Amino acid sequence: MKTNLYNQCKTFPILNGFLIIFLLAGCSTTEEINYRGEGEYWEAFLMLRFEDDSFNGTEKFQISYKGELEDLSEISSLEYSFETIDGTTRSRVTETYSKDTYPQTVNFTYTGLASGDMRGEESVIVIIKWDEFKESFELK
């Protein structure tokens, strides 16, 4: 009987340690804000992620062409950006192509830093330019 009680008391600090770690891990918070939208030719997704009330976070900005890859095989440039409703540009990506190098996919992704002042935005505007074409639409 003495040995059994000793073994129970020995495992109690280990279980208690796991419980404390579990509770502390549960205290960290992640805020994730997602925006989606589409236009006639493109659709876009923007994810902003902020950890533990920090001002800066990360962003993942993805656009997808709704047509066929072959439609993009002749383009020489692609520029995509998003801006807040007040017109402040947040991220802009420019890609250039030659006849030997052209897009290999209809999905284009940018990952970078996000500013905390984006937290209050209800929507953003996406602007996509490819050669002489331009499309803009709202993400909510």
How confident is the model over 75-113, as pLDDT tens digits? 999 999 999 888 888 889 999 998 888 899 999 999 999
Q: Is the confidence at residue 6, as pLDDT, over 90?
A: no
Burial class (CB in 10 A: 0-12, 13-18, 19+), 80: buried
CA distances from 81 to 16, 44, 53, 126, 127 (A): 50, 10, 26, 6, 5
Higher-pLDDT residue of 70 and 18 is 70
Residue 91 · residue 61 · CB < 8 Å: yes
CA atoms within 13 A on the CB side of 39: 17
The most confident of 10-19, 20-29, 65-74, by mean pLDDT: 65-74
Q: What is the pLDDT of residue 81?
A: 95
> What is the pTM for the complete model shown?
0.77
Q: How confident is the model at residue 9 (pLDDT cuts 50, 70, 90)?
A: low
User: Shortest CA distance to 68 belongs to which of 110, 99, 103?
Assistant: 103
